Amino acid sequence: MVELARIARNDFVIVGRAGMDFYPDPPGTKTEEAEKFVASLGGSSANIGVAIARHGGRAALVISVSDDAIGRFCLNELAKYGVDSRHVRSVGGEARNSLAVVESRVENHQSVIYRNGAADFQMTTEDVAAVDFEAYGALITTGTVFAAEPSRGAAFHAFDLARKAGLPLIFDIDYRPYSWPSPEIASDVYSRAGRLCDIVIGNDDEFGFMAGGKDKGLAKARDLARSTASIVVYKMGEHGAITITPDEEFRTGIYPVTALKPTGAGDAFMGGFVASLAHGHELRDCVLRGSASAAIVVSRVGCAPAMPTTAELEAFLADHPGPTDS
């Protein structure tokens, strides 16, 4: 474990993907019936960077994008949202940016993800070695970056370099089965990454996957908090979350809203949570502010463009009758 106080710098380096999201328009339209689509920035790590920037923090992304119009779209969007892309490398050849076609509907929701030959998997150890980790307050990564080489090795190398620089390591498990060659490899890699990190966040399915069964997920989360992590957040959807530290464990509820879609909640939670840590909120409040951020995002179109500002989050917290009883 390292000292988490460095997070107060509010300056994060994020290792993970940026992509393009397509949303059938208007909201509620099925993909196969759509006549037009709206494009926006996507990708879990890019979304987290946007969330942090919206809360007044600084975020820099480390990844590869395709050297084509879609990659340039992502770079332009990162700049628009104020996410630093100096460590984003464009790669040519057959590599292509990830693309998600995601419906703004809850009932019979469909998401189609194109990840073949993903450009972000081309991130190398040289890419992360070029980063001055001393300049940042913490490193964040999402689980998708570990799904293939060379990005898997590069991400673990980033962990090593960040740890030598004294940075806390923050891990969003973010398990996407379609990206992995096998569940066994994914479980092994995620368990290795989780043991290296100071803050681990995931849902009950993800912790259960790491542990070999959903009924074992909470025990896995508790074991990480007892052995290696300073904070573990075990999310349970509509049932709230259990937050575990070496010294305490507490439950929190959610902020019910009328959801427009199920996507983006995890990225919004992470952004709101770490931004609140950086601003010195108590841990319970950080979890609740992350939960409120997630509630806001699922009620809006898109992921990156749906991330709330601090003012919007404060207004939501002031007006909303939540959270639910934990």
pLDDT digit string, tens, across residues 169-221: 999 999 999 889 999 999 999 999 999 999 999 999 999 999 989 999 999 99
d(CA 72, CA 77): 8
Cβ atoms of 85 and 53 within 8 Å: the answer is: no
Q: Is the pLDDT of residue 261 over 90?
A: yes
State pLDDT tens for residues 247-257.
999 999 999 99
Looking at per-residue confidence, does 176 or 289 come out higher? 289
Domains of the chain by start residue, with CATH: 4-17+44-65+82-87+123-319 (3.40.1190.20)
Q: Which helix (H) or strand (E) holds 169?
A: strand 169-172
pTM above 0.95, yes or no: yes
Rounded to a whole number of angstroms, the distance between the first and last alpha carbons of the chain is 28
Helix (H) or strand (E) holding 59, with range, is strand 58-66
Contacts made by residues 242-245, CB under 8 angstroms, sequence distance 24+: 242/218, 243/283, 243/284, 243/287, 245/283
